[in-house]
Structure 1
Amino acid sequence: MNLLFSNDKRGSHPDSWYAATAGDYPQFDNLKGAASADVCIIGGGFTGLSAALHLAQAGVDVVLLEAHRVGFGASGRNGGQLGSGQRQDQETLEAMVGHDAAHRMWDLGQDAKALVRDLIAKHSIDCALKDGVAWAATSDKSTAWTHGYAEHLAKHYNYPVEILNRQQFHSLCPSPDYQGGMLDKGAAHLHPLRLALGLARAAADAGARIYERAHVHHVKPGGKARIATDAGHVEADHVIFAANGYLGGLNRKVAARVMPINNFIVATKPLGPRAADVLTRDVAVADDKFVVNYFRLSEDKRLLFGGGESYGYRFPSDIRAVVSKPMLKVFPSLKDVELDYAWGGTLAITVKRMPHLARVGPNMLSASGYSGHGVGNAIQAGRLLAEAIKGQSNGFDAFAALPSPSFPGGAGLRSPLLALAMTWFAMRDRFGL
């Protein structure tokens, strides 16, 4: 079974609030027959589109192949949070890779946010960019850790965040589930599908050739790689794998280290004055659960709430029911509010929850496994891939040097083993352990 075709209609975006409010979609032809390029990119999400844009701007002849529509995957259906740093907190990174490398990772995270903001401004992308992401703590112990981490960022990284006690957090987010937290005003939130579509337009305007409904089913390595689709093929000097959770079996080396998982989001009806029962400021929130709850208000004052995961190929039959459980625990006052949209998406994680950038062949590069931190990481990875192909690989090599072990069971048995582990940690959340 192929995740590309397991849960969605071929050649279309899912029925999400993002798709309903994305505006005019850019339309790109299918690939028919033979084509050639300096670089062929597989995947039309943030990574692939950013790589295509940066390569085309540098005068490189680039072809991008997307199996459905640009922004089809996680890039067009995620929580829209542009976070600081990396998916792992800096204290964990310091223990994992040492002080100097952890600081390098922090700087790269800051550069990623700046890059996204710069691309939005430079290409006039209307994606409702707003500042502010809050970290929500569900216990006194977690609140103490969050406040200590805020002090660590200020002391060791010269990065101030606003520390919130219980009363202050409730003034921001009136949920009985949260006991405190912090507010990162340097992080942001946005409409991810509009951002992806804006990057596609910019890449095409720069000269990248983008093909949609061009499903890649085989890559033959060689001095000139041959990338085969259902209706044609591309011969290229370089190949970039940018399919993330939808990579499938195209590269087994990556598949052993990058695990697809499914996550789900609902959008309520517009809340009107009741929006203040959710958030009193236009910021996004992510909490400390192992299976993270994340939410924000849309431009029309809907609650966009993400929660719940699955680890197989199929989405649950009733996504609304899956996401309603954590949503109503966080906001019990919304039990009478209808859910207008519910959708799922496939992202990808790594064992260490850090991006996996790798050279998987003499002329083949890959970037994936953003582990829920992909708005900044993936767009930055696209630029790093472009730079590596042009011979400037410092940023790429910094990520490639991170430890990236295979999942137990490799590409074949990782799903059932991961499901067991995730179920255990989710149970710990429910029992407050």
Structure 2
Amino acid sequence: MNLLYANDRRGEYPPSWYAATATKMAPFAPLKGAQKADVCVIGAGYTGLSAALHLAQAGRDVVLLDAQRVGFGASGRNGGQLGSGQRMEQDDLEALWGEPEAAKLWALGEDAKGLVKSLISDHNIDCHLKPGVAWTGSTDSEVKHLHAYADLLASKYNYDQIETLDHAGLQSVCPSPDYRGGVLDMGAAHLHPLNYALGLARAAAAAGVRIHERSAVHHIDEGTPATVRTDAGHVVADHVIFACNGYLGGLNRRVAARVMPINNFIAATELLGDRIKDVLPRDVAVADSRFVVNYFRLSDDGRLLFGGGESYGYRFPNDIAAKVRKPMSVVFPQLRDVKIDYAWGGTLGITMKRLPYLTRIGSNMLSASGYSGHGVGTATHAGQLMARAIQGDGDGFDTMAAMPNSPFPGGPAMRSPLLVLAMSWYAMRDRLGI
């Protein structure tokens, strides 16, 4: 089964709150016939859009292909949180890779956050960018860890935008009976993810990128130049960028062995009105410390957008709203009666260590994926880093590519069952408060 079409209609965005409120964009025509380009980018999410935009601004001739629509995948369906640093915390990076390299990765993470903010400003992208992401703990040990991590970032990385919150402080931000304390990062932010992707697409098209939607790539003839083939046409290009993330399929076995697609789910409630004060009296995004993270924020029109629950097969569950309501009712028991107006799923890419996987597939092919839920900033930045690498400046790309990233055990046949076992264990630990 092809993940591109397993849960969605061809050429249509999923029926999400994001799609319902997006600034609409006319479809781009599918690729037909033969084209030539300096660079062919496969995948029009944040990674591909950023790569194409930065290459076009540097004077390169770029063709951007997507099997569905611009921002169709995780880029247009995610929680909209723009986090600081990397997906892995800095003390873990220090233990894994050493302090000098961990410092480089922190700097790159801050560059990623700054890049998103500057792109939104430079291209007048209306995506409701707002500051503030809180991380919460449901146990005393989780709160202690979060406070210690904030101290580490302040003392070692000179990051002073995080406020530690005791129980009372967190309740003023998010009055959930499930949370005992946490931190609030006002250097992080949240946004409308599909509008951000569409804004990048408009900027890329204005810069001269030739975008083709509904143009699934089924084969690549490697070489210099390479030939990227779809059902109705092909592109001959000096360079190829893989920006497919969870929708890579069988295009490259090496990347597929290290980046596994999983599904995550979000629900949008009815308009909350006065009930907002009982959920999020401050308009910030929130993520908790569970292994399968719950994440949520307010929509611009006053709904709760709540993400929770994962699955590891091809198909989404039949009742996505019920799947999300379960963790939402733990965090906000006061919303057990709230109506859910929208519920949708999306496929993202994860890696074994939750570190992004950037790699040189060949002398003229680059790939970036596996953002593991930290993609708003990291994916946008990865696109820029690949654009720079093609122009001869590979420092940032090579730093990210040097991170250790092992393949999933068991190969494609066994990685999903093994992950289900691991996730079940961690889910049990969450329930027991271990």
Question: Are the structure 2 counterparts of residues 175 and 141 from structure 1 closer, same or farther at C-alpha, using a change threshold of 3 Å?
Answer: same
- Aligned partner of residue 37 in structure 1, secondary structure: strand
Indicate the larger mover: 74-83 or 229-238: 229-238
Secondary structure of residue in 1 paired with 2:128: coil
Q: Tell me whether 1:157 sits opposite 2:162 in the alignment.
A: no
Residue in structure 2 matched with residue 272 of structure 1 by the alignment: 273
**1:424 deviation in Å?**
1.4
Residue 415 of structure 2 aligns to a residue whose secondary structure is helix
Cα distance in 2 for residues equivalent to 1:370 and 1:285: 19
Query: Is the contact between residue 26 and residue 201 of structure 1 (CA under 8 Å) also seen in structure 2?
Result: no
* CA offset digits 1:36-80 (Å, max 9, x no partner): 111101000000000000000011011000001000000000000
- What is the alpha-carbon distance in structure 1 between the residues aligned to residue 375 and residue 26 of structure 2? 22
For 1:62 and 1:110, how far apart are their aligned partners in 2?
27
- Pairwise CA distance, 1:417: 1.5
What amino acid is the match of 2:360? Answer: R
Match of 1:240 in 2: 241
Match of 2:116 in 1: 116
Q: Distance in 2 between matches of 1:95 and 1:335?
A: 42
Q: Deviations over 1:310-337 (max 9, x none)?
A: 0110100100110000000000011111
AA at the equivalent of 1:386:
A
Q: Distance in 1 between matches of 2:333 and 2:354?
A: 31
Q: Deviations over 1:71-113 (max 9, x none)?
A: 0000000000000000001110110110010010000011001
Q: Give CA-to-partner distance per residue, 1:391-418, whole Å, 9 cap, x none.
A: 1000000001000101001234222211
Matched residue of 1:256: which SS?
Answer: helix
Structure 1 residue 221, shift from structure 2 partner: 0.6
Where do residues 49-68 of structure 1 align in structure 2 (5 Å cutoff)?
A: 49-68=49-68
**Does the CA-based 8 Å contact 1:387-1:393 persist in structure 2?**
yes
SS of the residue corresponding to residue 69 of structure 2 reads coil
Q: Deviations over 1:263-301 (max 9, x none)?
A: 000000010010111111110000000000000001111
One-letter amino acid of the counterpart of residue 424, structure 2:
T
Separation (CA, whole Å) in 2 of partners of 1:86 and 1:385: 18
CA offsets 1:362-415 (integer angstroms, 9 cap, x no match):
211000000000000000000000001111000000001000101001234222
Aligned to 1:331: 332
| Counterpart for residue 2 of structure 2 | 2
Separation in structure 2 between the aligned mates of residue 430 and residue 139 of structure 1, nearest angstrom:
11
Equivalent residues in 2 for 1:385-400, closer than 5 Å: 385-400=386-401
**Equivalent in the alignment of 1:137:** 137
Offset from partner CA, 1:111-147 (integer Å, 9 cap, x none) = 0011000000000000000000000100001111111
> Could you tell me which residue of structure 2 aligns to residue 255 of structure 1?
256
Distance (whole Å) between structure 2 residues aligned to residue 49 and residue 259 of structure 1: 22
8 Å Cα contact 1:26-1:197 kept in structure 2: no
How far has the Cα of 1:425 moved from its partner?
1.1
User: Residue deviations 1:6-45, cap 9 Å, x none?
Assistant: 0001001100000000022242111011111111010000
CA contact (8 A) 1:252 1:411 kept: no
Q: How does 1:86-235 map to 2 (within 5 A)?
A: 86-160=86-160, 161-235=162-236
SS in 1 for 2:135: strand
Alpha-carbon offset, residue 227 of structure 1? 0.9
Alignment partners' CA distance in 1, 2:412 and 2:220: 18
The one-letter amino acid paired with 2:35 is: A
Instruction: State the shift of 1:202 in Å.
Output: 0.3
8 Å contact 1:224–1:235 — kept in the other structure? yes
Distance in 1 (CA, whole Å) between partners of 2:279 and 2:29 is 42
**In 2, distance between residues paired with 1:355 and 1:428?**
26
Contact 1:267 1:305 in 2 (8 A): yes
**Residue 351 (structure 1) aligned with residue 352 (structure 2):** yes
Aligned-pair distance for 1:431? 1.9
Identity percentage of aligned residues:
67
Q: State the match for 1:413 in structure 2.
A: 414
Q: Which residue in the other structure is 1:369 paired with?
A: 370
TM-score normalised over the length of structure 2? 0.99
Cα deviation, residue 158, structure 1: 0.7
- Which residue pairs with 2:379 in the alignment? 378
CA deviations 1:223-277 (Å, max 9, x no partner) are: 1211111211111111100000000000000000111100000000010010111
For 2:343, the aligned partner's letter is: A
Whether the 8 Å CA contact 1:257–1:410 is kept in 2: the answer is no
Gap regions ≥5 residues in structure 2? none
Question: What residue is the counterpart of 2:71 in the other structure?
Answer: 71
Return 5+ residue gaps in structure 1 as ranges: none
Cα distance in 1 for partners of 2:327, 2:43 equals: 32
Query: What SS class does the counterpart of residue 186 from structure 1 fall into?
Result: strand
Q: Which residue of 2 aligns with 1:401?
A: 402
Q: Which residue of 1 aligns with 2:288?
A: 287
Match of 1:39 in 2: 39
Task: Name the CA distance, whole Å, in 2 between partners of 1:193 and 1:24.
Answer: 10
- The Cα of 1:188 is off from its aligned counterpart by 0.1
The AA in structure 2 aligned to 1:203 is A
Give the aligned CA root-mean-square deviation in angstroms: 0.7
Does the 8 Å CA contact 1:275/1:301 hold for their aligned counterparts? yes
